[in-house]
Amino acid sequence: MATAAPTQTLPLFYSDLVALNVTEHGKMKIKAIEKASMIAATHAIPATVDEFALLQRHYPIVFSVGETPVPLVLMGLSEGINVYFNEEGKLHDPMMYVPAYMRRYPFLLVRLKPDSDELSLCVDPTSGAIGDFKDGEPLFDGDQPSQATQAILQFCEQFETAGQRTAVFIDELKKSGLLMDGEVAIQPEGAEQPFIYRGFQMVDEEKLRELRGDELRKMNQNGMLALIYAHLFSLSQIREVFSRQVMQGKGPVATPQLAAADA
């Protein structure tokens, strides 16, 4: 299960980024993306701590490997497999919660000048979401952002704030020494050997139980404890993801141990 944090120059999903401006986009409109096939080929999505309570009901929440872990929602146990979205990037179950990272696309707040803290609203022009459409919401009202654009900006700002809270949580989690290399063994009925998935991090429950009272009290007061348990409860969903893969014909077909090593 390859769940390393993305290292490409552009974030996951984004093929290009341009800053929204009235000169170039003043007459353009925005509409829903009709097809997002890259979602169907993505098995792990970044998550924020603000979403843990909602996410843990449907998806496993794990942490990427490496020095700077990132919370990840697993939508498949192997590269290129997503059991929750179809080939066009539409949910199989429209009632399920969609991670904020996915809802933010194709927009993104970007620091255009390295020496400035100012963030500019940018968009992936290849997404098909903006253009000279007959239908859709205008991006600008005269020379000012439209209500639709202001709502997008507000959502992106909220996402950035949630990202900052997530970074604080990850920093405290690393300091606590609770993270460990994760491993999940799943043995379907009739299989001679279990399928073992690795390549992610998780909280060590034994270490959590051994924490001193004052450490647990601090985690409870700052909200960390609830987030940790949301993560731990969510891990039971890994078997649900495995079952979905099998039902969709995307389950492992090779020798279990070898399939796990490649996952």
- Predicted pLDDT of residue 253: 53
Residue listed under structure tokens 């690795």:
198
- The closest alpha carbon to 125, from 5, 10, 7, belongs to 10
**How many whole angstroms separate alpha carbon 104 and alpha carbon 44?**
16
- Predicted pLDDT of residue 105: 97
- Predicted pLDDT of residue 153: 97
Is the pLDDT confidence value at 40 over 60?
A: yes
**How many whole angstroms separate alpha carbon 263 and alpha carbon 259?**
6
**How many whole angstroms separate alpha carbon 84 and alpha carbon 40?**
8
Q: What is the mean pLDDT of residues 190-198?
A: 85
Q: What is the pTM of this model?
A: 0.88
- Predicted pLDDT of residue 262: 36
pLDDT in tens, 223-248: 999 999 999 999 999 999 999 999 99
Burial of 42 by CB count in 10 Å (0-12 exposed, 13-18 middle, 19+ buried)? buried
User: 27: helix, coil or strand?
Assistant: coil
Question: What does pLDDT average to over the chain?
Answer: 90
Structure tokens at 97: 């919660």
pLDDT in tens, 127-171: 999 999 999 999 999 999 999 999 999 999 999 999 999 999 999
- Predicted pLDDT of residue 6: 42
| Range scoring the smallest mean pLDDT among 101-105, 117-121, 239-243, 251-255 | 251-255
Given pLDDT bands bounded at 50, 70 and 90, which one contains residue 113? confident
Q: Which residue has the higher pLDDT, 192 or 7?
A: 192
- Predicted pLDDT of residue 263: 35
**How many whole angstroms separate alpha carbon 113 and alpha carbon 130?**
24
Please measure the distance between the N-terminal and C-terminal CA atoms of the chain and give it in whole angstroms.
4
- Predicted pLDDT of residue 130: 95
**How many whole angstroms separate alpha carbon 245 and alpha carbon 247?**
6
Residue listed under structure tokens 């078997």:
239
Is the pLDDT confidence value at 190 over 80?
A: no
Q: What is the mean pLDDT of residues 4-14?
A: 70
Q: What is the mean pLDDT of residues 32-56?
A: 95
Distances (CA, A) of 21 to 60, 124, 142, 144: 39, 13, 12, 10
- Predicted pLDDT of residue 8: 46
Q: What is the mean pLDDT of residues 171-179?
A: 96
For 68-126, the DSSP string reads: S--EEEES-SSTT--SSB-TTS-BSSTTSPPPHHHHHTTEEEE--STT----EEEE-GG
